[in-house]
């Protein structure tokens, strides 16, 4: 049994890509996208016609609406290949505006529904895990629109997401690892901070244990992996979203894989309930230098790629 098949015994495997032509070979249950992945895809010759078609077909509509239509087109193609759900992201420039996030999510959902997609079962709306984004997710979940809270780097963000009843969170393992490695500089010891000692892995484990201990139904999906060791150290997590390159590496390896996370074991832990109102959330996030920096950096990067996508559309027009 290869490592990818072994992982599937305990964890739902999700593909992290906008390149839907790669999906069939790995047979993921779900798939996730983001502005950066879509931008990367439409710069390839085989996907550029999708952007040109969106611009041509919806000429005269606002650029932001055409972008949403392009995202839904990619999502529809992905859903034709996978049996599960696709995550489609709201523009990161709305990350600090609850009402704008809700409105953008509702439009994306309406576009999926117009394509005959069962939104409740097959679509997750990705939103940055700011306080405003989490509040938007709370409102959307109340409408039956399920959400995936992304750019999640801290326990405080996870606690707030669980309290808001979001469907799924995506803690970013690799970016947490990146920050700690950079901060340590020459003092970083890769061997000592690998596997279960990886700071990104430890963050996801803390969240997983807390959710399972307290019966929080929000699904935990580790994301942003740098190597298969991080993935192996989280075998047993609810879901893991993995790049095609690392999926291929897992599929080609027959190194034994064992379960690392187990909900039954988590329920036996002594973990107090944590409650955070808005001031407490903001203070906790402020006290976490890594999470504060990586959340802001992630929003800026996704916003920049959304702007680049807009420019490509303007050039196509």
Query: What CATH number is associated with residue 303?
Result: 3.20.20.70
Residue 260's pLDDT band, with cuts at 50, 70 and 90, is very high
User: Is the pLDDT at 286 greater than 80, yes or no?
Assistant: yes
Residue 22's pLDDT band, with cuts at 50, 70 and 90, is confident
User: Is the pLDDT at 97 greater than 90, yes or no?
Assistant: yes
What CA–CA distance (Å, rounded) separates 212 from 199?
Answer: 20
Residue 57's pLDDT band, with cuts at 50, 70 and 90, is very high
The fraction of the chain above a pLDDT of 90, given in percent, is 94
Q: What is the mean pLDDT of residues 257-267?
A: 98
The fraction of the chain above a pLDDT of 70, given in percent, is 100
User: Is the pLDDT at 24 greater than 90, yes or no?
Assistant: no
Sequence-distant (6+) residues with CB within 8 A of 180 are 188, 193, 199, 200, 290
Neighbouring CB atoms inside 10 A of 280's CB total 14
**Active site annotation includes 126:** yes
User: Is the pLDDT at 251 greater than 90, yes or no?
Assistant: yes
Predicted pLDDT at 317? 76
Residue 253's pLDDT band, with cuts at 50, 70 and 90, is very high
**Sign, CA torsion 110/115/120/125:** negative
User: Is the pLDDT at 164 greater than 90, yes or no?
Assistant: yes
Which one from 27, 44, 126, 308 is the annotated catalytic residue?
Answer: 126
Pairing of strands 12-16, 30-32: parallel
Distances (CA, A) of 138 to 106, 145, 277: 13, 10, 14
Predicted pLDDT at 35? 82
Does 283 or 35 have the greater pLDDT score? 283
- Domain total of the chain: 1
Supply the pTM of this predicted model: 0.96
| Residue-number span of the structural domain to which 310 is assigned | 3-316
Q: Tens digits of per-residue pLDDT, 122-150? A: 999 999 999 999 999 999 999 999 999 99
Q: Tens digits of per-residue pLDDT, 206-243? A: 999 999 999 999 999 999 999 999 999 999 999 999 99
What CA–CA distance (Å, rounded) separates 129 from 171?
Answer: 10
Distances (CA, A) of 183 to 95, 194, 230, 280, 300: 27, 16, 19, 26, 20
């Amino acid at each position: 049994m290869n490592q990818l098949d072994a992982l599937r015994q305990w964890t739902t495997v999700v593909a992290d890509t906008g390149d839907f032509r790669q999906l069939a070979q790995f047979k993921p249950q779900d798939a996730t996208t983001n502005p950066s992945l879509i931008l990367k895809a439409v710069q390839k010759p085989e996907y550029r016609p999708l952007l040109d078609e969106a611009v041509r077909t919806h000429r005269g509509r606002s650029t932001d609406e055409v972008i949403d239509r392009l995202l839904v087109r990619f999502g529809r193609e992905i859903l034709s290949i996978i049996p599960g759900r696709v995550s489609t992201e709201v523009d990161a420039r709305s990350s600090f505006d609850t009402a704008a996030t809700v409105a953008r999510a509702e439009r994306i959902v309406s576009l999926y529904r117009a394509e005959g997609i069962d939104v409740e079962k097959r679509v997750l709306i990705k939103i940055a895990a700011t306080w405003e984004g989490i509040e938007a997710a709370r409102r959307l979940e109340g409408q039956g629109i399920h959400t995936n809270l992304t750019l999640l780097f801290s326990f405080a963000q996870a606690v707030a997401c669980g309290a808001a009843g979001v469907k799924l969170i995506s803690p970013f393992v690799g970016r947490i690892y990146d920050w700690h490695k950079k901060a340590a500089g020459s003092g970083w010891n890769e061997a000592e901070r690998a596997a279960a000692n990886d700071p990104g892995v430890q963050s996801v484990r803390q969240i997983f244990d807390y959710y399972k201990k307290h019966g929080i139904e929000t699904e935990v999906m580790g994301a942003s992996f740098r190597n298969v060791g991080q993935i192996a150290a989280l075998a047993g997590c609810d879901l893991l979203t993995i790049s095609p390159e690392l999926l291929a590496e897992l599929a080609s390896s027959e190194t034994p894989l064992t379960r690392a996370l187990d909900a039954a074991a988590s329920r036996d832990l002594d973990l107090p309930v944590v409650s955070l109102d808005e001031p407490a959330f903001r203070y906790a996030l402020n006290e976490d230098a890594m999470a504060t920096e990586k959340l802001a950096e992630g929003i800026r990067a996704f916003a920049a790629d959304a702007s680049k996508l807009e420019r490509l559309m303007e050039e196509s027009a």
